[in-house]
Structure 1
Amino acid sequence: MALKIAQRLRTDTGAAVLLLSVTLFALLWANSPFSASYTSLWEIPVQVDLGDLAFDMDLHHWVNDGLMVLFFFVVGLEVRQELTIGSLRRRSQRLVPLVAGTAGVVVPALIYLAIVGGAAPQGWGAVVGTDTAFLLGVLALVGPRMSNQLRVFLLTLSVVDDFLAVSIIGVVYSEDVQVGPLLLAGACLVALWLLGRMREWRSTPYVLVVVVLWGATMQAGIHPSIAGMLAGLLVPAALTKRADVVRTKNLYRAYWQSPSAAVARDVQLGLSRSISVNHRLHEVLNTPVNVVVVPLFALANAGIDLRGGALGEALVSSITWGVVAGLVVGKLVGISLGTWVAVRLGLGTLPDGVGPGSVLGGAALSGIGFTVSLLVVGLAFDDESQVQAATVGVLLALVLASLLGWVLFRLARVRWGEESADLPTTLDPAVDLRHDHYRGNPDAPHTIVEYLDFECPFCARATGMWRDLRDALDGRVRYVVRHLPLDDVHPHARLAAVAAEAAARQGQFWEMHDLLFANQTALEAEDLRSYADELGLDPEQFDADLADEALHARVADHAESARASGAQGTPTFFLDGSRHRGPHDAATLIAAIEELEAAEPDDAR
């Protein structure tokens, strides 16, 4: 039972429900006969002395200025991942969300200032940020049933949004800056940069420097959110290299042969070294931040006392409606308009499967400011009535943005036919054994199709799982491959695919397939000819086929079928005509087939 609850909390929906539950609990507590205990709890003083350094804050500030640094550190890690290996690494991918995210910060601030005027202009920062966790949770509840591509777009957008919002918090809402600690904080940032340049793979040095950076930032008088973001940005992220995986595999083999403590330690270190320190820290921190830190922040900040006419005062305050309009209207208009302008100017395109109606719905949900908004409210306002008005505005915006998103998604489905905001999931065209290359029983009831790239190291590892499938399922599955050469990252993959098709004309497709994967680092034209000689192929026919436009067109047709089927990377697997999601190791695929068989009626088996 506890395990199921933990798994549910790790989902977008589970995290959003937890956050909403904690928020409601905080409101009920603050407006109950026990409200005094709520106030006194967060006023408990906690002092930590380290030599001449003293960190003397109440519990509320330890949550906001201490624990929340972990939240912004994780945000920084995610931004670095997106910039290095994710959806912001290419110009064509990042310009649309960059423009939309910037407009989604500027327009809400202008709307807030237009409504509030000179009454409380310092609160404009409360409307610039989006609570990504809440947004994704509500998207899972009210968005299209299939919305993965929209989710990726909104995540990319939130990266820009978060970076700008945290920069604003760190610069605008910091005061009484102390030069000495500020210089120490700068030295810590340089140290993080040097660790990355030296390719330090251990996480401990990064963690120690980040702790010192937090302390220096606190002593300097700068809000530590920006320190957390910058620290995360400086922790390097990288894709796992095939050589590191092979090295770890050899370490496992050594442990299998000699299971000792020393060898086990080598295996653990090898595993850690094969994954970037950014990904390891993100994996360790992400769940505690979403399940503990952010809900604790909500508990400490959402509990406002609305009794004694406070709610009525908030509902007639320009601050309340400035926050509501800035978040709900400003985010919708800013992000939608920014996206439209960027696409019209040819700066980029929307992700495949995402229509304009889905963009509108996602832009509306971006009006859920919550975490960042509540943090800014606590920094921007000193007057208790202003804090209450702004907090009510943030909570109202959460409800209204969610309802508006639901309406827009429903409208997109009914009026514009946008049933999903995702890539296709059905194999197109279906398998045809007269043309497709397959292994196994041609009459097998189940078919696994892999889109592969001969230069892709992950394909090389995945392709060996066929033997495990064959042995475990005993003739109940056939294995089909199609080509998806990723030309932008693997310049030799397309010609290698043509070479495999040329070998197929002489009846040796699978032999060439295995040979190409065994020699992924040598796929030049001369290498391909040497493999043809090794297989005993007719060299003149092979050369002629290698230049045959019909074979090049066949490879292009496979790549087009991948696009039509929703396959964007390699390896991508389809199981009985439907795109397989999740791990693609043999054990997972075998379990998926056995689950399909268990669901079949007895007379269909």
Structure 2
Amino acid sequence: MAWANAPFAASYEEFWHSTAELRAGGMVLELTFRELVNDALMAVFFFVVGLEVRREFALGELTNRARAAVPVAAAAAGLLVPALIFLLFTAGTGNAAAWGVVISTDTAFLLGALAIAGPRFPGRLRIFLLTLAVVDDVAALSIIALVYTARLEWVPLLLALLGLAAVYCARYLPAGRGPAYAGLAVLTWLAFYASGVHPTLAGVGIALLVPVFQPGRREVEDAVQLAQVFRQSPNSGYARAAASGLRESISINERLHGAYTPYVNYAILPLFALANAGVRLDRSTVASAVTSPLVWGIICGLVLGKFLGIFGASAVLRRLGAGEFGPGLTLGRIAGGAALSGIGFTISLFIIGLAIPDPAVQNEARVGVLAASVLAFAAGTLIFRIVERSPAVPPGQVLARPVDASRDHVAGNPDAPLTLVEYGDYECPFCSRATGAISEVRRHFGSELRYVWRHLPLTRVHPHAVAAAEAAEAAHRQGQFFPYSAYLFEHQEQLDPEDLLTAAETLGLDPDRFEADLRSADIRNRVLDDALDAESMDLHGTPTFFIGNRRHHGPYDSATLIRLLEADRPQEV
């Protein structure tokens, strides 16, 4: 923006209209520098977005229908309502076709704004907004493909589809998959470019075909064994084998996402912003923007439409009791996140270049997008300041999620009048020592007490805690949660992947089923749920106990717990 409004502003458009050529025989590919960024480099951005989408559908929040119902419905309403508001402002102006500008939320800016303006513990809200953004991205990319394709050449499109099929088949190559993916990606991009379909969609299509899976025990063990062989006899052959084994133990989706994300964040997106956010803010531009139906359609569509769509759909589902709202995902917080979702920078600017041919009108539209992003951030900040005022009861003093025998791990009589809840970590030595006290407490009360275990893996200090918790959940699938948990506490120094499988075999579990369950997204999400509950209550240490639904502070020896539980006993009438 500084460049576009400087005394040498003419150089801005001159630079981005400069051309680069690629010649191969009689074929010539000529792109302006702006097209090079928007069509070629942004394909890498959409490739990374596609990798995230693929992972969410395979392993993340979108694998659970109840969990995904609310953000998916909110995302759909957050697409429809902004588009309708935009059309109300622009009907009959010749710019109604640009409705795609207001449909998408910029995920990176949204998460950055949430970190600055959001609640202290945004875990469940952050996952809600990430899931919403994934659905938002899928819809936006589909609309780019279906609505903003000016011409269509069927032969190149067929070649592009064949390229995608070849990308899918590349996973079966015994070696050289990296070069194969790279070569096919370039050819598929060229075919999309020649077909008239926007070539950035090649990045999405390829990403959706890249394999994604949870690391398997055997692959990890093989990689460790190769590393040990290299340690015993260091040479280049063993080094290559060890490096290849480590790579192959992680899905190519995760490897590519980790490799390309820094380039996208620190090079491609800044270049895209430099090429597309050069708004002229002279007096005539500002004056025309203030009175432009297009600008007001963008501002109201993003700021008002996103808020009404996302918050409104969430409120209706909450009222109907549909979907899953966990602790910490309140309507107040959803309102703040819905307001921040009006930040529509990257894809909004991208669609402006596709939907509006006139450079002067494009400039006005960019003013609208930038103004909407600032207003959306201000509105979200204000909402969070209001809803996050200090509560009457500090967080963590009352159990956030009531005990549910159909969900929780309950030992003892599920309908017992007394309840003891523990948030614990299998690698925590204090939790291990507390097991003896808990056994005494359970013997004392018998059928009058139900003991509930919930996971709080302290990942910063216990590297095996999450894996152990997921293994306990896998054992639960075979009805052995508490015996398996007891085994883990007895062998806290042996929580490597092979040790977790050994524990399952020792207890007579089906090892193949156990290992398959370990790779399940449901298992991962179950552990994450407990951890997010703990975060919403500001719990940072283990073990943390709740007597009934009130948090216990202080010693947790058996005598203390028995005394407090006796005091919590319901009074007879």
Report the 3-state secondary structure (helix = DSSP H, G, I; strand = E; otherwise coil) of the residue aligned with 1:34: coil
Report the 3-state secondary structure (helix = DSSP H, G, I; strand = E; otherwise coil) of the residue aligned with 2:323: coil
**Would you say the 8 A contact 1:412–1:418 is kept in 2?**
no
Q: Who is 2:472 aligned against?
A: 485
Shift, 1:354, TM fit: 1.7
* Structure 1 residue 99 corresponds to structure 2 residue 85: no
Q: Who is 2:140 aligned against?
A: 165
**Given the alignment, which residue of 127, 142, 147 partners 1:152?**
127
Q: Who is 1:184 aligned against?
A: 159
**Given the alignment, which residue of 242, 251, 271 partners 2:217?**
242
Output the aligned Cα RMSD. 3.8
**Would you say the 8 A contact 2:328–2:533 is kept in 1?**
no
**Would you say the 8 A contact 2:472–2:484 is kept in 1?**
no
* Unmatched segments (≥5 aa) in structure 2: 401-420, 425-429, 438-452, 512-525, 545-573
Classify 1:333/1:416 alpha carbon distance in 2 versus 1 (closer, same or farther; 3 Å): farther
* Structure 1 residue 519 corresponds to structure 2 residue 498: no
**Given the alignment, which residue of 468, 475, 498 partners 2:483?**
498
What is the one-letter code of the residue matched to 2:435? D
**Would you say the 8 A contact 1:201–1:276 is kept in 2?**
no
Q: How does 1:40-79 map to 2 (within 5 A)?
A: 40-79=14-53
Shift, 1:420, TM fit: 8.4
Report the 3-state secondary structure (helix = DSSP H, G, I; strand = E; otherwise coil) of the residue aligned with 1:259: coil
For residues 75-107 of structure 1, the C-alpha deviation after alignment (integer angstroms, 9 at most, x for no partner) is 000000001111111212222221111111111
**Given the alignment, which residue of 263, 271, 274 partners 1:299?**
274
Classify 1:314/1:420 alpha carbon distance in 2 versus 1 (closer, same or farther; 3 Å): farther
Classify 1:124/1:358 alpha carbon distance in 2 versus 1 (closer, same or farther; 3 Å): same
Q: Who is 1:554 aligned against?
A: none
* Structure 1 residue 133 corresponds to structure 2 residue 118: no
Q: Which moved more, 1:353-362 or 1:334-343?
A: 334-343
* C-alpha distance in structure 1 between counterparts of 2:121 and 2:466, whole Å: 31
* C-alpha distance in structure 1 between counterparts of 2:529 and 2:42, whole Å: 42
* Structure 1 residue 218 corresponds to structure 2 residue 220: no
* C-alpha distance in structure 2 between counterparts of 1:125 and 1:170, whole Å: 11
* C-alpha distance in structure 2 between counterparts of 1:345 and 1:199, whole Å: 52
* C-alpha distance in structure 2 between counterparts of 1:577 and 1:201, whole Å: 49
Shift, 1:28, TM fit: 1.4
Classify 1:250/1:432 alpha carbon distance in 2 versus 1 (closer, same or farther; 3 Å): closer
* C-alpha distance in structure 2 between counterparts of 1:190 and 1:361, whole Å: 42
For residues 128-147 of structure 1, the C-alpha deviation after alignment (integer angstroms, 9 at most, x for no partner) is 11111111111111111221
**Would you say the 8 A contact 1:201–1:273 is kept in 2?**
no
Report the 3-state secondary structure (helix = DSSP H, G, I; strand = E; otherwise coil) of the residue aligned with 1:485: helix
**Would you say the 8 A contact 2:189–2:200 is kept in 1?**
no
* Structure 1 residue 436 corresponds to structure 2 residue 426: no
Classify 1:341/1:196 alpha carbon distance in 2 versus 1 (closer, same or farther; 3 Å): farther
**Would you say the 8 A contact 1:104–1:330 is kept in 2?**
yes
* C-alpha distance in structure 1 between counterparts of 2:268 and 2:167, whole Å: 24
**Would you say the 8 A contact 2:153–2:194 is kept in 1?**
yes
**Would you say the 8 A contact 1:378–1:387 is kept in 2?**
yes
**Would you say the 8 A contact 1:452–1:483 is kept in 2?**
no
For residues 35-76 of structure 1, the C-alpha deviation after alignment (integer angstroms, 9 at most, x for no partner) is 011111101111112334322111011111111111111000
Q: Identity across aligned pairs (percent)?
A: 37
TM value normalised by structure 2: 0.75
* C-alpha distance in structure 2 between counterparts of 1:213 and 1:483, whole Å: 40
* C-alpha distance in structure 2 between counterparts of 1:282 and 1:169, whole Å: 23
Q: How does 1:359-378 map to 2 (within 5 A)?
A: 359-378=334-353
* C-alpha distance in structure 1 between counterparts of 2:483 and 2:331, whole Å: 38
* C-alpha distance in structure 2 between counterparts of 1:419 and 1:172, whole Å: 50
Q: How does 1:294-443 map to 2 (within 5 A)?
A: 294-414=269-389, 435-436=434-435
Q: Who is 1:549 aligned against?
A: none
**Would you say the 8 A contact 1:127–1:327 is kept in 2?**
yes
Report the 3-state secondary structure (helix = DSSP H, G, I; strand = E; otherwise coil) of the residue aligned with 1:223: coil
* C-alpha distance in structure 2 between counterparts of 1:29 and 1:420, whole Å: 48
What is the one-letter code of the residue matched to 2:482? A
Shift, 1:294, TM fit: 0.7
Q: Which moved more, 1:52-61 or 1:245-254?
A: 52-61
* Structure 1 residue 84 corresponds to structure 2 residue 69: no
Shift, 1:307, TM fit: 1.8
* Unmatched segments (≥5 aa) in structure 1: 1-26, 439-448, 454-459, 466-480, 529-558, 579-605
For residues 273-320 of structure 1, the C-alpha deviation after alignment (integer angstroms, 9 at most, x for no partner) is 001000000001111101110111000011022225111111110000
Q: Who is 2:406 aligned against?
A: none
Q: How many residues end up aligned between the 2 structures?
A: 480
For residues 522-580 of structure 1, the C-alpha deviation after alignment (integer angstroms, 9 at most, x for no partner) is 3665899xxxxxxxxxxxxxxxxxxxxxxxxxxxxxx9999488469xxxx965669xx
Q: Which moved more, 1:328-337 or 1:516-525?
A: 516-525
Classify 1:511/1:412 alpha carbon distance in 2 versus 1 (closer, same or farther; 3 Å): closer
